[in-house]
């Protein structure tokens, strides 16, 4: 020890101490690049993470009273900005949409590079633009939507049959005949996506592969919506402390293996000269050839499988929960249900089923759907954005890499925009030109700007048709002892905002068809 001390150079010690002091000065006294928005104080390591509770969109909404319509949070080590008013959303989407056009991706969705093949979670760039163009110009355009009208009506009729069969089976064993509506709404949407993507019903109890695909999809949805500590403390990602990424890999592997079988079946048919008369989205993906300027020249088979998987959970989940919320609100408000029923009976009658072409003559139905999406956006915080560069926004400095949430749930309850904002009042839209296509920032359940949900034209048709069908085709009784005011609005947040307590109702057919 004495030898070691004698060999220490005093100059080396002085330089080391000086360097350490300089490092401290630079770290703690460097000029601030600009102020960030106000927000609640956090705690070491976790920041505001433990303050959010089970319903972070609601907690953030309540913080607006103290900190304003743009708030700043630190979730673990992740800087986060939350936008919570129509004016702040307008500023973001109109003037700063490009620097905020990237995505902040949950760790579980990086399994098998899943995010790099999707539309919703892909980084902003050439591959994303190709997928966006294929969806918006080749698949979800009005012409193709019109061509699949009969398909949606057939699947809607299947849903009616499932509901009645389930109810009658329940009565045969001495039960009330009640059905869990959310189950049939999800299965209807799932089969609809199956037909649009692959031209086949995937809900078939006789097909074990289809059932496995369905079960894996449900598990993927659950995992994608479960909070993961690795998203907020990124240095833990390599450990996967909750085991969520490992579980996601397992389910994605099964799902992509099954979707790969669908793709191979189609490729084999095409090689044998068997082409479909009407293209589905799988045909569009397989036939894509790039122009050499932007994005890939071809879409790989792996990415085709990823896109198929994404379309299933994006199209099935969000659509079905919107329908359930809308119908629950109608049952909670019998006068609103009665008014919609009267409109349907006047315009359509009971001797035929309501069709998509009837919707333009059903203004109260349109108002019911808008009011549903105002109060119950399927993605209350939309999908998280990521700041691609340092940006000055509304007088604040937003550093590169900041996570950005747009609280569509709070915006739909903004008291400055909506009279009596917590009440379900479709009448507010009857004399209003407000739409949810991304241009009216008081109502943005599908987002706005470059990353607006590409599937909203399809959701628009399906939600209107399904709610109209439930009101027109059935009389409904609540469970014994349950009154309309007993139907709750309790929420359960995962990837989407589901109804915490599923709706159980007793149906009785009323159409003369």
Among candidate residues 249, 245, 211, 214, the one with its CA nearest the CA of residue 228: 245
More confident of the two residues 21 and 312: 312
In a domain, 254, yes or no: yes
In a domain, 98, yes or no: yes
User: From the CB of residue 274, how many other CB atoms can be counted at a distance below 10 Å?
Assistant: 9
In a domain, 250, yes or no: yes
| Confidence check: pLDDT of 230 > 90 | yes
> Domain range spanning residue 456?
32-509
Q: What is the pLDDT of residue 20?
A: 44
DSSP-derived secondary structure letter, 50: G
The number of domains in the chain is: 1
Using 50, 70 and 90 to split pLDDT, how confident is the model at 261?
confident
User: What would the pLDDT profile of 407-458 be if each residue is shown by its tens digit?
Assistant: 999 999 999 999 999 999 999 999 999 999 999 999 999 999 999 999 899 9
Percent of the chain at pLDDT exceeding 70: 91
453 is in an annotated binding site: yes
Mean pLDDT along residues 22-28: 42
Q: What is the pLDDT of residue 5?
A: 33
In a domain, 149, yes or no: yes
Q: What is the pLDDT of residue 23?
A: 39
Q: What is the pLDDT of residue 207?
A: 64
In a domain, 117, yes or no: yes
Q: What is the pLDDT of residue 206?
A: 56
Sequence-ordered alpha helix ranges (H) in 363-510: 363-375, 408-411, 456-473
In a domain, 490, yes or no: yes
In a domain, 5, yes or no: no
Q: What is the pLDDT of residue 139?
A: 75
User: What would the pLDDT profile of 238-253 be if each residue is shown by its tens digit?
Assistant: 999 999 999 999 988 8
Q: What is the pLDDT of residue 415?
A: 95
In a domain, 17, yes or no: no
Q: Which of 269-283, 289-303, 470-484 has the lowest mean pLDDT?
A: 289-303
Using 50, 70 and 90 to split pLDDT, how confident is the model at 25?
very low
Q: What is the pLDDT of residue 382?
A: 95
What rounded mean pLDDT belongs to the chain? 89
Dmax (CA) of the chain: 103
Q: What is the pLDDT of residue 28?
A: 41
Q: What is the pLDDT of residue 425?
A: 98
Q: What is the pLDDT of residue 313?
A: 81
| Confidence check: pLDDT of 8 > 80 | no
Q: 80 CB contacts (<8 Å, ≥6 apart)?
A: 72, 73, 74, 402, 403, 404, 405
Looking up residue 420, the CATH number of its domain turns out to be 1.10.630.10
User: What would the pLDDT profile of 80-123 be if each residue is shown by its tens digit?
Assistant: 999 999 999 999 999 999 999 999 999 999 998 999 889 999 99
Mean pLDDT along residues 133-157: 86
Q: What is the pLDDT of residue 485?
A: 95
Q: What is the pLDDT of residue 452?
A: 95
Q: Following CA atoms 164, 324, 158, 262 in sequence, which dihedral angle do they give, to the nearest 10 degrees?
A: -140
| Confidence check: pLDDT of 481 > 70 | yes
Indicate if the alpha-carbon torsion angle 200, 206, 212, 215 is positive or negative.
positive
Q: What is the pLDDT of residue 292?
A: 66
Burial 452-486 (b: 16+ CB within 10 A, else e): bbbbbbbbbbbbbbbbbbbbbbbebebeeeeeeee
Q: Which of 137-151, 185-199, 468-482 has the lowest mean pLDDT?
A: 137-151
Q: What's the pTM value of the predicted model, to 2 decimals?
A: 0.90
């Amino acid at each position: 020890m004495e030898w070691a001390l004698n060999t220490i150079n005093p100059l080396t010690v002085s330089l080391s101490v000086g360097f350490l002091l300089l490092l401290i000065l630079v770290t703690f006294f460097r000029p601030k690049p600009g102020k960030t928005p106000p927000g609640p104080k956090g705690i070491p390591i976790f920041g505001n993470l433990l303050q959010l509770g089970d319903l972070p969109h609601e907690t953030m909404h309540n913080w607006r009273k103290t900190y304003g319509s743009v708030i700043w949070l630190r979730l673990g080590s992740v800087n986060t900005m939350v936008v919570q008013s129509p004016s702040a959303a307008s500023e973001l989407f109109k003037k700063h949409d490009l620097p905020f056009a990237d995505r902040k991706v949950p760790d579980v969705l990086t399994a098998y590079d899943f995010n790099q093949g999707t539309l919703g979670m892909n980084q902003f760039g050439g591959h994303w633009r190709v997928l966006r163009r294929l969806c918006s110009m080749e698949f979800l355009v009005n012409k193709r939507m019109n061509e699949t009208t009969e398909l949606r009506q057939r699947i809607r009729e299947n849903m009616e049959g499932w509901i009645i069969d389930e109810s009658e089976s329940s009565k045969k064993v001495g039960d009330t005949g009640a059905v869990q509506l959310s189950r049939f709404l999800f299965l209807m949407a799932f089969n609809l996506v199956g037909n649009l993507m692959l031209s086949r019903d995937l809900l078939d109890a006789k097909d074990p592969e289809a059932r496995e695909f369905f079960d894996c999809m449900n598990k993927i949805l659950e995992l994608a919506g479960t909070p993961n500590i690795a998203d907020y403390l990124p240095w833990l990602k390599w450990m996967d402390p909750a085991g969520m990424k490992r579980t996601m890999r397992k389910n994605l592997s099964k799902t992509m293996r099954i979707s790969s079988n669908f793709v191979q079946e189609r490729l084999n048919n095409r090689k044998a000269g068997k082409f479909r008369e009407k293209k589905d989205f799988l045909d569009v993906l397989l036939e894509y050839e790039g122009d050499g300027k932007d994005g890939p020249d071809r879409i790989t088979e792996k990415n085709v499988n990823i896109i198929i998987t994404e379309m299933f959970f994006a199209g099935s989940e969000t659509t079905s929960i919107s329908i359930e919320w809308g119908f629950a609100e109608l049952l909670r408000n019998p006068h609103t249900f009665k008014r919609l029923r009267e409109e349907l009976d006047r315009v359509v009658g009971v001797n035929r089923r309501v069709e998509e072409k009837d919707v333009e003559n059903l203004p109260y139905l349109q108002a019911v759907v808008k009011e549903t999406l105002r109060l119950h956006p399927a993605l209350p915080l939309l999908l998280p954005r990521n700041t691609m560069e340092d940006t000055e926004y509304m007088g604040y400095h937003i550093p590169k890499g900041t996570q950005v949430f747009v609280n569509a749930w709070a915006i739909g309850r903004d008291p400055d925009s909506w009279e009596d904002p917590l009440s379900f009042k479709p009448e507010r839209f009857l004399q209003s030109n407000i739409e949810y296509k991304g241009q009216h920032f008081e109502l943005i359940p599908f987002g706005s700007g470059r990353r607006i949900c590409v599937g909203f034209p399809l959701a628009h048709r399906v939600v209107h048709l399904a709610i109209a069908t439930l009101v027109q085709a059935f009389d409904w009784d609540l469970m014994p002892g349950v009154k309309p005011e007993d139907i709750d609005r309790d929420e359960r947040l995962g990837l989407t905002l589901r109804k915490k307590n599923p709706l159980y109702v007793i149906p009785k057919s009323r159409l003369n068809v």
